[in-house]
Amino acid sequence: MSIVSPEQIAFVMALTSRPTSFAELDDQVRSGLPKSALRASVEHVTRTVEERRILLFRIVPEATFKRRRDRLSPDESEKTERLARIFATALYVWDSETDAREFLNTSHPLMEGRTPLDVSMTELGARRVEELLWKLFYGIPA
């Protein structure tokens, strides 16, 4: 069970229709999130304009993103939700957007020297990052 709520994840994505359950959030993801959800999530996670551009086009290639009218594909929406979930979890743990952003963008020895943001680009990697965040939150040795 996750302590981070679907409302907190939706907040990171700046969704106007806020889900009240993970089932509702899942429906929105499967239907395709708005392009603005990806932009909002990337805005929260990154520190510079260049980082924003790189991350955005890492999730959805630039040409594809420009072709999209309003909605992302279900696969792109899953990646967007994952990014928002990781940031929402880091924000919950650190209680500061700046600290959460720094944690995600700084290499970590338990992530083989990679950044938690880089590791979280896959679902299994995101689970590893979430596990690390909860260990930090509860003061459990890693």
- pLDDT tens for 7-26 read 999 999 999 999 999 999 99
So what's the pLDDT on residue 24? Answer: 98
Q: pTM higher than 0.85 for the full model?
A: yes
* Stretch 56-67: mean pLDDT: 96
- For the cut 90, the answer to whether the pLDDT of residue 1 exceeds it is no
pLDDT single digits (tens) 70-119: 999 999 999 999 999 999 999 999 999 999 999 999 999 999 999 999 99
Between CA 117 and CA 119, with CA 67 as vertex, the angle to 5 degrees is 10
- Structural domain boundaries of the chain? 6-138
| Average pLDDT taken over every residue of the chain | 96
Confidence (pLDDT) at 3: 85
Question: Tokens 């429906």 sit at which residue?
Answer: 27
DSSP track, 82-115: HHHHHHHHHHHHHSSHHHHHHHHHS--GGGTTS-
What pLDDT score was predicted for residue 2?
Answer: 66
Reported as a single tens digit per residue, the pLDDT across 25-45 is 999 999 999 999 999 999 999
Residue 19: predicted pLDDT: 97
